[in-house]
Amino acid sequence: MATRQSSTAPSFFNFLKEGLLLPTHNPRLFAAVLAIIVASTSLLLLGNDLAIQPLVEQIRIDTNLLNSTDPSSPEFLHLLKEIQDDTRAIFITGGVYLLIAIVIGSFIRIVVLFAAVTTYSGELHTFASLLGKVKAQLKGPLLTLGFTSVLEITYIAFIAGMVGILAFLTIMIKQHRTIMLFVDLLLVTVASIFLVYFSIICSLSIVVAVAEPGCHGAGAVGQAWRLMKGKRRRAMLLISVPAVLAAALSPVHTLAKTCAVGNIASGLLLGFLYTILMGAVELFATCAMTAFYYECKGSPEALGTKYTKVSTEDQVNV
């Protein structure tokens, strides 16, 4: 579907409105996408409850018993061995669980992005045809996702190393310690703020890789960096709104855990409701990021609020 630009410029909050309304252009597709988000999240939570949490609880019980056991008794050595075995099992099971969660999460994230980008550009897909498109163009977004993940991990490690070095220097330099603490706090604050900004660039670069086939990896990051120029306030709004929505929903999760103690059915029901709501927030965040990308790029799709079909002849004459 071609689009014609409206005469009025988009408002400051336009990309949030576009992100909110985007699923209405293809309700069946986005219902299916939301369903796989909820299903995958529920399965991962179930896996955590069945595989990880029992080991954590067993270590907690054994540790409490160990504290009240005579160190010279055989029972102490037995408990110590059980804790070591459970700790090893947690590392192995947790590693496998983390790998599965990363694979599933990455695939679903890319599928959701393809749904948002194709719908915003006017393509109407079924879920099956969308999967076919994802399969055909998976390489670029997947490489970009891996590349940006490495960049973010490297930057976080850099911040951690910087904090360690600054803490060491503060301890070693006894004079002007107050000034050193202030400088340390300032540097860490600036680095943390840039981390948030950098994470937005990384997220936007994955949208670039989906929307612009052939542009991936470092090229997609560079393109996202250029698109973000002059859009810092809107970028902060983009990341703040989903965070506020997620925080507003946290009482539902707390209530679900509280109810599960006395009534398992009510706890499970509230937990499932929380999963659906958080899935909707995730979907909205992705759609808003997509609208933000088109607005940054200055495309007619993002700049206009009126969508009208244009015939081929009309496009040629224009």
The CA–CA distances, whole Å, from 228 to 12, 203, 223, 256 equal 15, 12, 9, 39
Res 8: pLDDT: 56
Res 182: pLDDT: 81
Between 112-126, 155-169, 272-286, the lowest mean confidence (pLDDT) is in 155-169
Q: Which is higher by pLDDT, 314 or 183?
A: 183
Res 109: pLDDT: 93
Average confidence (pLDDT) over 138-159: 92
Average confidence (pLDDT) over 230-245: 88
For the chain, give the mean pLDDT: 84
Average confidence (pLDDT) over 18-39: 94
Q: Which is higher by pLDDT, 306 or 241?
A: 241
Average confidence (pLDDT) over 294-313: 51
The CA–CA distances, whole Å, from 245 to 23, 173, 188, 267, 280 equal 18, 44, 27, 21, 10
DSSP assignment string, 29-75 = HHHHHHHHHHHHHHHHHHHIIIIIHHHHHHHHHHHHHHHTS-TTSHH
Res 131: pLDDT: 93
Q: Is the confidence at residue 282, as pLDDT, over 90?
A: yes
Print the SS3 string covering 178-214. Answer: HHHHHHHHHHHHHHHHHHHHHHHHHHHHHHHHHHCCC
* DSSP secondary structure letter of residue 8: S
Res 146: pLDDT: 92
Res 71: pLDDT: 79
Average confidence (pLDDT) over 120-129: 91
Res 9: pLDDT: 60
Average confidence (pLDDT) over 59-73: 83
Q: How far apart are CA 186 and CA 196, in angstroms?
A: 16
Q: Is the confidence at residue 317, as pLDDT, over 80?
A: no
Please, which pLDDT band fits residue 49 given cuts at 50, 70 and 90? confident
Kindly give, in sequence order, each residue whose CB lies less than 8 Å from that of residue 94, ignoring residues fewer than 6 positions away.
52
Res 83: pLDDT: 86
Q: What is the pLDDT of residues 177-208, one digit of tens each?
A: 777 778 778 888 888 888 888 999 999 999 99
Burial 264-289 (b: 16+ CB within 10 A, else e): eeebeebbeebbbbbbbbbbbbbbbb
Res 207: pLDDT: 94
Average confidence (pLDDT) over 270-287: 92
Collapsing DSSP to helix, strand or coil, 267 comes out as helix
Average confidence (pLDDT) over 115-124: 92
Please, which pLDDT band fits residue 25 given cuts at 50, 70 and 90? very high
Q: How far apart are CA 115 and CA 35, in angstroms?
A: 13
Q: Whose structure tokens read 């309304």?
A: 21
Q: How far apart are CA 110 and CA 139, in angstroms?
A: 11
User: Which among 283, 272, 195, 207 is positioned nearest to 245, based on CA atoms?
Assistant: 283
Q: What is the value of pTM for the model shown? A: 0.81
Q: Is the confidence at residue 163, as pLDDT, over 50?
A: yes
